[in-house]
A = this chain, B = another copy of it.
Amino acid sequence: MASKKAEIIHILKKEILTLTLTPGTVVSEMTLTERFSLSRTPIRDILKQLSAEGYIDIYPQRGSIVSYIDLESVEQIIYMRSTMEKDIIKSLGGNVPLQGIHQLGLILDQQQACIDNKEDDHDFFDLDDQFHKLIYSLAGHEFIWDMMQQFIVHYTRYRRLHMLKQDKRLSILDDHRRIKDYLVSGHEKDVDEMVHHHLRADVKSKYFQEHFSDYIKK
C-alpha cells in the first residue's frame, strides 16, 4: 500500500530534521532495503522524493548522503516568511473570528506549559509551527504555508541547532503573545518590526559557522 512508503518517508524526514541522522551520513539504497524490508524500487522512490525536497543529496554511481545545512537557503526562507507574515498579519489585524483567537490562545497555553514543565524542546518546536500555520490558515493561505514546508529542511535544522545554543523559548512565547494581541485588537503596534524581530536571525554569524561547521554546507 502507498501509506507504507509515506510512513517511511515520515520516519526518515523526522530523523533528518531532528539531526538523529546527521548531515553527511551515508544512506545507501541497500541499507534502507534491509532496514525496512522492501525492495530497491520503492526505496528509490523514497530517496528521489527526499532528494527533491533537499533532505538528501544523490551522487550518481557514488552514493547518497544526508544533505549539509545550506545557510543561504535558511536566509532566503526567513526573508520569505518574514515578508509574507508581515502582510498576512496586517491584513488580519482586528478581523480574526472568535474561534480563531481561541485556537491561538490554546497554543500559547501549551507553550507556557512546555516551559513550566521543563519539557523537551521538541513539543515547543511543534507548537511554534502550529501557531504560525494557524495564522496562515486564518487568512486563507494555508496553501502558502504548505508550499513553503517543502523547502524547510535547512531552516528547521538551523533552528534546532540555534536552540541548542541558548534557550529562547521565553522570548519566543512573548513575541507570540504580542502578535496575538495585535490580531485581536488590530491596534497599531509596528507589525513590521514585531515580525522582523521574531523571525530575524544572524544566520551567517562566525560563531554559528564555527560551532557547527560539521553540519554546514561549504
A positions within 8 Å CB-CB of B: 2, 41, 45, 48-49, 52, 60, 72-73, 76, 79-80, 83-84, 87, 141, 143-144, 147, 150-151
Contact = CB atoms under 8 A, between A and B. Distances in A.
Copies in the complex: 2
A98 B201 CA distance: 31
Contacts of A83: 83-84, 87
Contact of A60 (B2, B41, B72): B2
Nearest to A87: B83
Contacts of A147: 76, 80, 151
A144 B76 contact: yes
B80 A144 contact: yes
Contacts of A79: 141, 144
B72 A143 contact: yes
In the complex, which of the residues A45, A52, A83 has the most CB atoms of chain B within 10 Å of its own CB atom? A83
A84 B48 CA distance: 30
Contact of A84 (B49, B73, B84, B151): B84
Contacts of A73: 143
